[in-house]
Amino acid sequence: MEAEFASIRAVASRKRLPGPDVWLILRRRIGGDPEEAPLRAFLSNAPEGMPLSTFIWVWSLRWTIEMAFEECKGELGMDEYEVRGWRGWHHHMTMTLLSHHFLVGLRLKLGDKAPALTVPQTVELLSVVLPRKEFDAEEALRWIRYRQEHNYAAYRSHRKRRRGK
């Protein structure tokens, strides 16, 4: 996604009175229908002299965070908590995020041996490997290759069918 950014120093309004000095950051997506990508405005309390590149970098982190939460909810049960207090909720969230961190680390560690290993594939792999008394790394890698080839074939088939219509 490509976007244009602009920033200007402004004075925030609090109860119709002048408030603190803030940054007004504007973002507009380039290309596409303007109706679907309206101008977005953000306020920041960052100190004066903050470069626009820092605002752009922080804004781009949003996508990474959203993807992590989506994977945690979809694959690790982040949204399936049944607790009655804050302590239990914090425990559940912490364990879910630690599990996600572990799975992403495993994906990075395997690197070229398992390119594009997804969190769901990692969860499935661990559910197959962990119950066993002995772990065979080569068998696990064969399983990963098989799963990825199967997923890619399904992707190509679906894509071909959609193009045919």
For residues 110-138, average pLDDT: 74
pLDDT greater than 60 at residue 165:
no
Nearest to 23, CA basis, from 50, 53, 61: 50
Condensed to tens digits (0 to 9), the pLDDT of residues 97-115 reads 998 888 888 778 877 776 6
- CA separation for the pair 165, 111 (Å, rounded): 37
pLDDT greater than 60 at residue 11:
yes
Q: How far is CA 37 from the centre of its chain?
A: 21
- CA separation for the pair 63, 66 (Å, rounded): 5
Domain boundaries, the chain: 1-50
Between 58-72, 76-90, 94-108, 124-138, the lowest mean confidence (pLDDT) is in: 124-138
pTM: 0.51
| pLDDT band at 142; cut points 50, 70, 90 | confident
- Residue pair 5/22 in contact by the 8 Å Cβ criterion: no
Output the average pLDDT for the chain: 84
pLDDT greater than 60 at residue 155:
yes
